[in-house]
Amino acid sequence: MRDSPPPRPGFLRSGGWVVVAAVAVATVGFAFHARYLVRHRARLVGDGRRVESYGFSLTPCRVPRELVVASGMPKDGLRALVDPPSWTTAQADAATTKHAKFLVAGDRVLGLQLNGQARAYPLRMLVWHEAVNDTLGGVAVAVTYNPLCDSAAAFRRDVRGLRRTFGVSGLLYDSNLLMYDRQPGGKGESLWSQLLFRAVAGPAAADGLVLAALPISVEGWADWRRAHPDTTVLAPDPDMAEKYASDPYTNYFGSDQLRFPVQPLPSPAAWPLKTPVVAIGGAQGWTAFPFPELKAAPGSLTSPPAPWAALASALTYRAQGRTVAVVADALPPDAAVVYASYFAWYATHRDDTVWAAERR
């Protein structure tokens, strides 16, 4: 008769305690995370679907109400930055993320220069914030970017004697960012359109308040740094390092499909809807330059009677990275510069824009 096999060690003795411990830790961790989500959710405003759930007054509403829609994110679902720190170029050069340089030569940045000071705002950071409340050259500014429109613009934050701090409302108009001006207790907050440069709903809209846009340049980091060797750089939020390394809109620009309602759209369209455009102008009107026309030889362009040639001298198309740099010193006094996709600029400025050239 064969000897009986030795009894198996118990589950815990055989290492099962590791599984039990892991389950216990996971359970505790999940419970903690669930409590955090419940508490955090209680603080969120806006259900991502119904505009009325966001709590903003739409009286008056200076744009078609049906084009104001929820983005799928709550109010402040993207956290606007307020008085963020900045880096020197040496600090930016030394910074790494996931064993790679934080900023490389071709990274697009929104460049702003005021009163002799220059600062670069990397767009792959702005994708995750959309609005930065900053001060540059002694001027309070809002630096904004909306990836749905690839739209970049900067404004003075002092509006009619009051300094505003802007957040991301979670709402859109014409598929474009609607900011809100933060007020104590959230009372009396208004909605502001990034591309209309004005308040479109709430008390500020009733007062007819507008934003003063500034001249900016969107170009590769290496190009901006070469032209502005003393530039500083928006410093990253350490808690967002992993987010900055990813771009959730990569597939979005692979087609002309839009995710939210936009009216009107150009028909027929002179260029693909998401063609990048740089616009120069102000309250008296705008001249818009689609990137393909700036890339083309000047002799191949047709243009309406406008001083577009003089304005174009301030623009430099760079094939590497497909960017257009702006030399602010070559612009007319008080001229603003805004970047956007063709569809977005057409929808918001079709009545006050001269197109520098069009394909026929």
Q: pLDDT tier at 12 (50, 70, 90 boundaries)? A: very low
Can you tell me the distance from the alpha carbon of 318 to that of 339, in angstroms, rounded to the nearest whole number?
Answer: 15
Mean pLDDT of the chain: 87
Can you tell me the distance from the alpha carbon of 191 to that of 189, in angstroms, rounded to the nearest whole number?
Answer: 7
Cβ burial 178-208 (10 Å sphere, 16+ → b, else e): bbbbeeeeeeebbbbbbbbbbbbbbbbbeee
Can you tell me the distance from the alpha carbon of 168 to that of 178, in angstroms, rounded to the nearest whole number?
Answer: 7
* pTM, two decimal places: 0.86
Q: pLDDT tier at 360 (50, 70, 90 boundaries)? A: very low
Answer yes or no: is pLDDT of 37 > 60: no
Inter-residue contact 195 to 344 (CB < 8 Å): yes
Neighbours of 18 (CB within 10 A): 10
Inter-residue contact 280 to 331 (CB < 8 Å): yes
Neighbours of 60 (CB within 10 A): 12
Which residue, 319, 301, 317, is CA-closest to 359? 301
Is beta strand 117-122 parallel, antiparallel or unpaired with respect to 232-234?
parallel
Residue 310: what pLDDT?
Answer: 77
| Radius of gyration, CA atoms only, the chain | 25
Inter-residue contact 325 to 228 (CB < 8 Å): no
Q: Which two tokens stand for residue 130?
A: 């959309």
Answer yes or no: is pLDDT of 7 > 90: no
The predicted model gives 225-254 an average pLDDT of 93
Q: What is the pLDDT of residues 331-344, one digit of tens each?
A: 999 999 999 999 99
Q: Domain locations in the chain?
A: 17-46, 51-227, 240-355
The predicted model gives 91-114 an average pLDDT of 91
Inter-residue contact 321 to 105 (CB < 8 Å): no
Can you tell me the distance from the alpha carbon of 360 to that of 263, in angstroms, rounded to the nearest whole number?
Answer: 23
Q: Which two tokens stand for residue 21?
A: 């411990």
Strand partners, 341: 276
- CA dihedral in degrees (229, 219, 178, 132; nearest 10)? -20
Can you tell me the distance from the alpha carbon of 329 to that of 346, in angstroms, rounded to the nearest whole number?
Answer: 27
Q: What is the pLDDT of residues 155-204, one digit of tens each?
A: 999 999 999 999 999 999 999 999 999 999 999 999 999 999 999 999 99
Can you tell me the distance from the alpha carbon of 348 to that of 340, in angstroms, rounded to the nearest whole number?
Answer: 11
Percent helix, percent strand, percent coil in the chain, to nearest 5? 25, 30, 40
Answer yes or no: is pLDDT of 39 > 60: no
Please give the C-alpha separations between residue 175 and each of 88, 144, 259, 265, 314, in angstroms, as whole numbers: 35, 15, 8, 12, 29
Answer yes or no: is pLDDT of 262 > 70: yes
Q: Which two tokens stand for residue 227?
A: 């032209």
Q: What is the pLDDT of residues 54-66, one digit of tens each?
A: 999 999 999 999 9
Q: What is the pLDDT of residues 283-313, one digit of tens each?
A: 999 999 999 989 884 444 444 444 567 788 8
Q: Which two tokens stand for residue 172?
A: 């859109």
Residue 313: what pLDDT?
Answer: 85
Q: Which two tokens stand for residue 100?
A: 């790679």
Can you tell me the distance from the alpha carbon of 224 to that of 105, in angstroms, rounded to the nearest whole number?
Answer: 9
Q: pLDDT tier at 356 (50, 70, 90 boundaries)? A: confident
pLDDT over 90, % of the chain: 74
The predicted model gives 135-142 an average pLDDT of 98
Answer yes or no: is pLDDT of 2 > 80: no
Q: Which two tokens stand for residue 94?
A: 């030394």
First-to-final CA distance of the chain: 98
